[in-house]
Amino acid sequence: MKKGELKEFGHPLAQWIRGDRLPFVFCSGCTIGSSMTCLARAFDRVIDNMDNLVIVSGIGCTGRASGYFHAGAFHTTHGRTIPFATGAKIANPELDVVVFTGDGDLIAIGGNHFIHAARRNIGITVICVNNFIYGMTGGQGAPTTPLGDYQTQSTPYGNIERTFNLVDLAASAGATYVARWTALHQIRMEDSFVKAIRHARKNGMAFLEIVSACPTYFGKYNQLGDSLDMLKIFENVEEVTEPLSVTPHEATSDLSKIVCGEFVELERPEFTHEYQKIIEIAQQES
């Protein structure tokens, strides 16, 4: 290299992120991209063979996520991330299957699939980016929109519907690893992604909620400012707990108090392992 020339460096996560598809398409200030970066760093730590990695996304702001990774990718129909992920895991239990989805896709139209996958304890990692609103379709109220004066396009006078506590829902349905972080918790989030993927291989469903900033819609409708302002709100209302010291039911997530941490970590038989035993029994009797 000649003196004065600049050396060109590749993307540090080029093994996992498709550089030809950058920059991300997300709105300015959206924190979905930073969560995806954390996930890519986690893959770098925990995935030995990217041919065994499958990423599933649905419809909504998170829907484009799967196509940014060097991995097997499913961009599914609305609310159907879990059925696609379940099919992939049952077809090949050796796969690391990661669902990257949003609160509307997973908990509204996809809610029934979610609770039954948790009940079965199938070994997939489910990451739900919760931005409190339907972002892609214009800012309508979601199952996670906080109760009270918070406005959306479809609730201009405030939200009177009770809000799902996602970590409580996941734990009650049967998920065996459950955690929540905000978009501020980059290091904790990455560590939790690593732990979740390892957990799913042996002990079943891992669920992580990532509280995310949506300045374009939720922030605008509620005069919360830009992304930095919203992250400062998260910082002011968050409470980071010691692992397993708080029950999921106690872990509130409205904008007066966001309890973060790891709430559930259990050792239980994983679905595809038990299913394989049934197959072997049936084969012996045939």
Tokens 């990451």, residue located? 127
248-251 long-range contacts (CB < 8 A, ≥24 apart) are 248/165, 248/167, 248/168, 248/170, 248/171, 248/172, 248/178, 249/165, 249/168, 251/165, 251/167, 251/168, 251/180
Q: What residues have CB less than 8 Å from 91, skipping those under 6 apart?
A: none
Residue 24: CB partners within 8 Å, gap ≥ 6? 32, 33, 36, 64, 68
**The CATH number of the domain covering residues in 23-285:** 3.40.50.970
Tell me if the bond preceding 23 is cis, omega within 30° of 0: yes
For residues 110 and 259, the answer to whether their CB atoms sit within 8 Å is no
Distance CA 109, CA 218 (A): 20
Contact 125, 175 (CB under 8 A): no
Q: Which residues of 250-282 are buried (b: 16+ CB within 10 A; e: fewer)?
A: ebbbbbeebbbbbbbbeeeebbbeeeeeeeeee
Model pLDDT, residue 1: 60
pLDDT per residue, tens digit, the chain (286 aa), is 667 777 767 778 889 999 888 888 999 999 999 999 999 999 999 999 999 999 999 999 999 999 999 999 999 999 999 999 999 999 999 999 999 999 999 999 999 999 999 999 999 999 999 999 999 889 999 999 999 999 999 999 999 999 999 999 999 999 999 999 999 999 999 999 999 999 999 999 999 999 999 999 999 999 999 999 999 999 999 999 999 999 999 999 889 999 999 999 999 999 999 999 999 999 998 7
Closest CA to 55 of 77, 73, 69, 39: 73
Q: Where are the domains of the chain?
A: 23-285
In 12-37, which positions are buried (b, 16+ CB within 10 angstroms) versus exposed (e)?
A: ebeebbeeeeeebebbebbbbbbbbb
**Distance, CA of 233 to chain centre:** 21
What lies within 8 Å, CB to CB, of 107 at 6+ separation is 114, 128, 142, 143, 144, 164, 166, 169
- Amino acid letter at 249? H
pLDDT score of 98: 98
Q: How far is CA 250 from CA 70, 129, 146, 193, 237, in A?
A: 38, 20, 16, 22, 15
Element (H, E) at 212: none
